[in-house]
Each structure stands twice: as C-alpha cells, then as structure tokens.
Amino acid sequence: MQIPYELLGKIFILLAITALIVLGIALLLGAYSFRKQRILFPNFVLFILYLFYGPAKWMCRIFGIKDTLVDEILVEVRNAVMLEAFRKIKNGRVIFLPQCLRHPNCKARCDPLIGYECKMCGLCDIGTIYKAANERKFEVYVIPGGSFVKKIIKAHRPESCIGVACYPELAESMQGASPFMIVQGVSLLQDGCYNTRVDVEEVIRKMEECDV
C-alpha cells in the first residue's frame, strides 16, 4: 500500500495552522485579561498556553513582543482564578521566598528540609515579610530551589501559598503546585541570582486578601 505523503502533509499543515490560530486566540484573550484586569475564558487560556508554551513564546518573539508576556499572563490569570478560594483558606498558609532576596552578607544557615532560617537581621526585606507573615498566621520558607518546595509540601501539607519569584519560575511552579494547594504569585521587581527585590507591600497585600 502506497503511503499518501501528500495528503498527510496537507493534514499536518492544516493542523499546524489550526493550532497557531487557537494559540493566537489564547494569547489575545490572555493579553486582554492581563491588561484590562477582566479575565475572559481563564481555563481555556491556561490550558492552551501551558500546552503550547514554547510556541507561544516563539509567536511573541516573531511579533516583537517580550516572550515573558506568556508567563505574566499565566501567573495573573491563575491568580484571578484562584483568588476567591485563596481568601477562604484560614489555616495551613505559607509563603515561599527565593533565596536570591537575601542580602549578600546574610548569615542565615540553610536547613536541608526547610531552607534558610532568617535571623531577622534587617539587612534585607525578608525580615519585614517574616514579621508581617507572623502577624497574619503565614509560615515563611526561604528556599534555594524548587526541590525544597516539593519537600515542604510533602512534609507540611499546606493548604495555600504565596510564591515569590521571577515570572517564568512563577508560571512553572504555580502550575506544579496548583493540584496540591491554592496558589497566588507575586513577581520580583528585579530578577537575578542574588540581591533581587520584591514589592513588600504587594506581598503583604496578598496576605491581607485572606482577611477580606
């Protein structure tokens, strides 16, 4: 039997064009939702952008748009989708902070199970977040990497979390954590491997969502 290569090629091209159209629609809906703070078809947007994550970034670059827009959309749409459920959680609430927020002269030791143990020295904003979290019944973990998140989730079974990271890491970690808990994300103001910054007031505002 002769393989109909021409027909298969046409089918492949048709499927590729259809996928690009669907992806383009998801990007437009996500961008609209992100800019206008009005979420449209959130589950569709999340499903398509995670399914075609690489092509979505490629499409942004083709049109001269920064490809982190995909991550921004994924984070903000998931924040909106889970916000009401997040507000209802009163116990088992945690905050995951990246170790890059630490001051270069930080003397905190890294526990192999829970990450860095803040000494509240005042050199960086982590101490301020710790203090606000204690007042609002949130546990804070300063983690060196994603493997610590998995260990903490397994050991402590939190019900909700606020994650702080750059947009690409937030998009990935929120997707991984959402089957196990209610998640919210706050992006870093300044990315990098050390001495990064976050809007502390935004982190505190996220905590206060639970008091609404």
Which position has the higher pLDDT, 183 or 25? 183
pLDDT, tens only, 30-82 = 777 766 667 778 888 888 889 888 888 888 888 888 888 899 999 999 999 99
Q: For 76-113, give one letter per residue: b (16+ CB within 10 A) or e.
A: bbbbbbbeeebbebeebbbbbbbbbbbbeebebeeeee
Count structural domains, the chain.
2
- Same domain assignment for residues 47 and 111: no
Strands 197-198 and 182-190: antiparallel
- Same domain assignment for residues 90 and 156: yes
Burial of 142 (0-12, 13-18, 19+ CB in 10 A): buried
Q: pTM, whole model, 2 decimals? A: 0.85
**Closest by alpha carbon to 27, among 1, 51, 2?**
51
Judge whether 70 lies within some domain.
Answer: no
- Same domain assignment for residues 123 and 191: yes
Locate tokens 């970690």: which residue?
A: 173
Judge whether 71 lies within some domain.
Answer: no
Q: How far apart are CA 107 and CA 104, in angstroms?
A: 9
Q: What is the DSSP letter of 109?
A: -
Burial of 42 (0-12, 13-18, 19+ CB in 10 A): middle
The CATH number given to whatever domain includes residue 203 is 3.40.50
- Same domain assignment for residues 50 and 94: no
- Same domain assignment for residues 136 and 183: yes
Judge whether 149 lies within some domain.
Answer: yes
Rounded mean pLDDT of 79-94?
A: 93
Q: Which domain holds residue 29?
A: 5-65
